[in-house]
Structure 1
Amino acid sequence: MTTPQTTAASARPVELRSLTKRHGAGEQAVTALDRVSTSFAAGSMTAVMGPSGSGKSTLLHCAAGIDRPTAGQVLINGTDLGTLDENALTLLRRERMGFVFQEFNLVSALTAAQNVELPLRLAGRRPAPGEVAAALAEVGLADRGAHRPSELSGGQRQRVAIARAMIAGPAVLFADEPTGALDTRASRMVLRLLRELVDGRGQTVVMVTHDPAAAAYADRVVLLADGRLVDELPGADGAEAIAARMAVLEVRS
């Protein structure tokens, strides 16, 4: 039965409540995140930006359950990650989250198709006939399934990584600098693909980036400084407006 709570969780697949992360103790303690509260709506793309050391990567790692916060809550589809032990957290990440990183993280000895099906294999599930081929076709690599990562360009490797992240139908796709290792042409292709996943499939994407041009593909840009959420603006404002706001934050930091 659908309840108001489950409906709210579906509308906001990721919710952060007073999220705090400290490293060290005593006088040496460093606060990477300071009581950050926000949520990420279903079927939206959010860019997380900020100066170096602002806490944007820490926010993504805590939101994705890769790192445990010092205080506060992370809810994925209404499930509080803080209530889960490591086994349950690993299972939830595998079933409800997809990950795309700057360095692709593909297994070099496997083909593109084998890399894409790897999350299903790790979950003990055999891919349905045509499932992997369809995932590769969706990212424009229908004819590259038998190629190993070394035989693919950087942009193609990142698209394989996106297909791998999407194969299990995650509630949220976390992307950490997904275009950081790509040239301009490949970056645009990857960003258009992420945008199409949001617009065509209703996918929720949370992307950390330092690039205003990448952030302009998002519906919403969240800005951090000194571990705090200090501002947000629509991606539709464009790269120049985003860059100008970032420049102000960098001067202050």
Structure 2
Amino acid sequence: MSSLEYAVEFRAVSRTFRTGPEPVAALCEVSATFRRGTFTAVMGPSGSGKSTFLRCAAGLEQVDSGQVVVGGVELAKLGDKALTVLRREKIGFVFQSFNLLPSLTAAQNVALPLRLAGRRVGESEVREALAAVGLSGREGHRPSQLSGGQQQRVAIARALITRPAVLLADEPTGALDSKNGREVLRLLRAMADDTSRAVVMVTHDPAAAGYADQVVFLTDGRIVSVLEQPTVDQIAARMTSLETPTC
């Protein structure tokens, strides 16, 4: 399979932090591939390396060894300016805290990545992005005039406006009630069915992970298990086994 069919590749990636007296290995020779048109959930106990995994995929953390490849481009080979451009064009971000600018309208928030890139912003393009997340007619609303679920959908539209190769989501339903959470997860599921991109989501919630095609489990910086087309019960059981002390 051509590497271009993968939105993200981890090739024996290791990342160690040296902030205390002893180095802490956050990722240990992690290898994984994420094909376009797929939805992957990343799970694991606290301190398992999930956040570092996502930050390395986004090019926000430099790896000590191995390779991270996004859209066919190895991140380590890029200078700071080229890496910034790649993140802007190839990677979309969705966070637990929606990170919308309160003084801007929904349309202005969605258009922001294009403006930062110095690109011309077409009104129709922004309207289409908001329509894709079910927010037609809300273009002029500011975040304070939208529900939490609607704000997260604006954030998803903003992440997708550059047509990235991968959408990275960090606990995207963590600040939402169950109804709005389900709506956002269904939307992410639909986004992943677009064969031009992959969706990779970090979550602690088995019900959220149940929307994914596969679940990757991390423990102590290593991939210890992968479930394909899992049920929520299977995911919950696997998480319980990972969090149960062995001695």
**TM-score, scaled to structure 1:** 0.94
**1: CA distance, partners of 2:29 / 2:232:** 28
Deviations 1:139-198 (A, max 9, x none): 011121111111111100000000000001000100011001100000000000011112
Asked if 1 retains the 8 angstrom alpha-carbon contact of 2:165 and 2:196, the reply is: no
2:210 to 207, 216, 223: 216
User: Does 2:185 correspond to 1:191?
Assistant: yes
Asked if 1 retains the 8 angstrom alpha-carbon contact of 2:39 and 2:199, the reply is: yes
1:241 to 215, 234, 240: 234
**2: CA distance, partners of 1:16 / 1:237:** 22
User: Does 2:154 correspond to 1:164?
Assistant: no
**1: CA distance, partners of 2:142 / 2:74:** 38
**2: CA distance, partners of 1:203 / 1:26:** 38
Equivalence map 1:1-253=2 (5 Å): 8-24=2-18, 28-200=22-194, 202-234=196-228, 236-252=229-245
Distance change (3 Å), C-alpha of 1:78 and 1:200: closer
Specify the SS of the correspondent of 1:21.
Answer: strand
Asked if 2 retains the 8 angstrom alpha-carbon contact of 1:56 and 1:208, the reply is: yes
Deviations 1:42-79 (A, max 9, x none): 10000000000000110010011011112211001221
Q: Report the count of equivalent residues.
A: 246
**2: CA distance, partners of 1:45 / 1:228:** 20
Consecutive unaligned residues of structure 2, counting only runs of 5 or more, are: none
Consecutive unaligned residues of structure 1, counting only runs of 5 or more, are: 1-6
Q: CA deviation at 1:9?
A: 2.2
Q: Which amino acid aligns with 1:57?
A: S
Q: CA deviation at 1:25?
A: 6.7
Asked if 1 retains the 8 angstrom alpha-carbon contact of 2:213 and 2:230, the reply is: no
Q: CA deviation at 1:13?
A: 1.5
Q: CA deviation at 1:202?
A: 4.6
Q: CA deviation at 1:127?
A: 1.7
Distance change (3 Å), C-alpha of 1:113 and 1:245: same
**2: CA distance, partners of 1:67 / 1:20:** 11
Asked if 2 retains the 8 angstrom alpha-carbon contact of 1:44 and 1:202, the reply is: no
**2: CA distance, partners of 1:204 / 1:212:** 20
Asked if 2 retains the 8 angstrom alpha-carbon contact of 1:12 and 1:41, the reply is: yes
Distance change (3 Å), C-alpha of 1:201 and 1:151: farther
Asked if 1 retains the 8 angstrom alpha-carbon contact of 2:8 and 2:68, the reply is: yes
Specify the SS of the correspondent of 1:237.
Answer: coil
Distance change (3 Å), C-alpha of 1:200 and 1:73: closer
